[in-house]
Structure 1
Amino acid sequence: MSVGRSLEGKRAMVTGGASGIGAAVARALAGQGAHVIVADMDSHGAAALAEEVEGSSWAVNLLDTQELAEQGLAAAMDGVDILVNNAGIQRINPIQDFDPADFRRILALMLEAPFLLIRAALPQMYERNFGRIINVSSVHGLRASPFKAAYVSAKHGLEGLSKVTALEGGEHGVTSNCVSPGYVRTALVEKQIADQALAHGIPKSEVLSRIMLTEAAIKRLVEPAEVGSLVAWLASDHAAMVTGSSYTMDGGWSAR
């Protein structure tokens, strides 16, 4: 999905940007001319990618939402035209065995932190009459799977937050959308393969075919660059009338 250098002069922030989907998104946005701020708790990884894409980095622990709320985020969000909420973690356990602390951590990182960043970004976006909020959700924002109570809850909440942002931001030139991929070829998914094998009592070699891709019509993992391409389009003027939507990239999983 090529849109030329459509983001020249724009400033973008990508959370969880040092690796995986976030890194692919950062490269895609930079490739369209945006100055990209790579935000990640991995300060070295963020700095290295920022150097690669000629952007900048922000070493931040988004899990510490109390600190984020108390310090205020206006300075960090100064000039940000495009906010990509991507940072995430995963834990897999049956509900009765799910650690409440893990549940709270996942909701803090994947729902509360995006809320705080959106809240800080909107006033300046409203002043400029332009903004793009792009939330990296998941097919699990639309469908549930066993053993993922926290992740599914957080992604469903993120979908709702995105829609509210779209309704409030529309008259101010701000769009808000979700990109909802299936399983993407990242380190997070590689870790899930081992966890799913343990949870279901099957060999790791059978997880993709028996668990992860069983509902998809296209039997492969999503590539990070495919997600980056869609995010870059949603950030551009070509998508100015696209808001309040959730774009699935799940190989047909949610068509069922």
Structure 2
Amino acid sequence: MTAGETDEQLAERLATAAGAILLDLRARGDLEGKALGQAGDQQANAMLCREIRSARPDDALLSEEEKDNPVRCGQSRVWIVDPLDGTREYGEGRDDWAVHVALAVDGVAAVGAVALPGLDITLTSGVPLPLQPANQPLRMLVSRTRPAAEAVFVAERLGAELVAMGSAGAKAMAVVRGEADIYLHTGGQYEWDNCAPVAVAHAAGLHVSRVDGSPIRYNNPDTYLPDLLICRMELAEEVLRLAAQYSSAG
């Protein structure tokens, strides 16, 4: 624990530290694949939960790797953590995985840090990156293994190039960093998959919403979130219109 740390500083420090744990574990070389991912999840999660409970003992905590305590739903402040977003990519030795540390306040993603340890960077809502110019042609992120039909439909009508990438955090941060322009996901996620990325993206001046345009709310009894849109602000209206067109046609 560091005295006087802001929530933003705490999130950034812990996400970066968890990333270092994961890199060190992978570099040892005694585990691989699924076993490596499981060990990484456990070790990063243990550190994150211990440090958050020490630094913010009055706050609630929701982690992908911890048994959920429904008491959190009655609290204003809840830390939402994914110790290893992109377990498959991590186990395969790729760079497109992330660590998410977020704080939701009254259901809103207020603070977030997303570490991209393979790239040696941590992006945070506390120090947002300046937005880069749009790509030409536009670039739209999709899953490596199961591109959503809605995303393919929207990309075709925008003339956007599809870019396959691993974890949700890596995809969201690619938009923040200007490597892509649109991340449209309709395959379902959980709160820990996107709370930190949403906080970072919003702080950077990007559009963030559900695919119907409604705001994303956190600290719900049911942590499942069906869909997500993160994109450049000037593209949001058209992307939402096309997504609605796809839904009505289906």
Indicate whether the TM-score tops 0.5. Answer: no
User: Which structure is higher in strand share?
Assistant: 2
* TM-score, length basis structure 1: 0.31
Q: Per chain length, whose mean CA-contact separation is higher, i.e. which structure has more relative contact order (CA < 8 Å, sep 6+)? A: 1
* TM-score, length basis structure 2: 0.32
User: Which structure is higher in helix share?
Assistant: 1
